[in-house]
Amino acid sequence: MKLTNVVQTFESIFDEIGIDVPYEASLYYVVSIYHTPASFTEMYREARRIRKAISERALKNGRNALVDNGLIAQVLFVHGSDTRFGTEPYLPVNPGIVAEVHNEYLKNIYSDEDFSIRNRDVEELHGIWMENFGRYGIEIEKGSITLHYGDTWVLYNLLGIMDKLENTTISMMLGGIDVFKEIYEVYYSHILQQGSKIRAIINRTDEAEDIKRLKIEYGDKIEVKYIPSEDYGTCRQIFFDHDLAMDGKKLLLSDRSGPSCIGTIYLKEADSIALLRNNFENIWQTH
């Protein structure tokens, strides 16, 4: 895998997304996956191996752009003095999901041969991401972790987790309905076909055509309830049966360019997950 090619690939994606410093963002993103845990000084040293002329300020600008666009989440140390994340405590989203979502765009700007080579490099980077951050993308296999994150981060991680589940009930209180857009259907269609179910609470009814289409296609395998946001405030929750829960709160910020939520992920923490699930079930049953 040539890191220069991988950086260039994600630079193209980040430019398409509208990030104003796509190269710097891509450089930080790739280095944060390839070298973790690390301090910023260590990451800067590795970044200079790829592009010698990069400055510390430019690399920090790239990191800030990734945070603002929900492509990395910041770990908040509220669970003791665990320092396994180093001094640069950020979790990048799954690179395989990022590349797949923008697959058609990449095919349009690269030749077939070049796209094939870049696709193999992305697959290798995805393998490194899995090794360093785990199937849930949070570096831990049990316990809890609190994050400051954007909507894109939780959406991409949700899709990545969905893609590996079987016979699971996924319950979500997300507010919006982006996860039901047609472009994302490939990530959960097969789990629905194999017996899994999705329950979702939303507080928006605009752009509901995607939900109607899915209801026609999958029937009672997808249940959706519209509940006005006044009934559950800024709460955001996700449950994967009894193994994982994400309990978040949407921040009421005047500046919407940055992360919009703070939340805690509980992994294989039975008591905490049960308590949160009871809250979700009460809201679900009474509406």
Rounded Cα gap, residues 256 and 235, in angstroms: 17
Return the SS3 of 248. Answer: strand
Q: Where in the chain is the domain with CATH 3.30.870.10?
A: 143-285
Q: From the centroid of its chain, how far is CA 175?
A: 16
Dmax (CA) of the chain: 59
- CB neighbourhood size of 271 (10 A): 8
State residue 205 phi and psi, 5-degree precision: -115, 0
Residue 257, pLDDT score: 61
State residue 185 phi and psi, 5-degree precision: -60, -30
Residue 11, pLDDT score: 97
Rounded Cα gap, residues 102 and 250, in angstroms: 27
Residue 105, pLDDT score: 94
- CB neighbourhood size of 105 (10 A): 15
Residue 191, pLDDT score: 84
Q: From the centroid of its chain, how far is CA 113?
A: 29
**CA Rg, the chain, in Å?**
19
Rounded Cα gap, residues 143 and 150, in angstroms: 22
Letter for the amino acid at 220?
Answer: D
Residue 286, pLDDT score: 84
Return the SS3 of 49. Answer: helix
Low-confidence ranges of the chain (pLDDT < 50): 81, 83
Residue 167, pLDDT score: 82
Rounded Cα gap, residues 155 and 102, in angstroms: 15
Residue 197, pLDDT score: 92
Is the domain covering 143-285 a CATH 3.30.565.10 domain? no
Contact 5, 124 (CB under 8 A): no
Residue 85, pLDDT score: 62
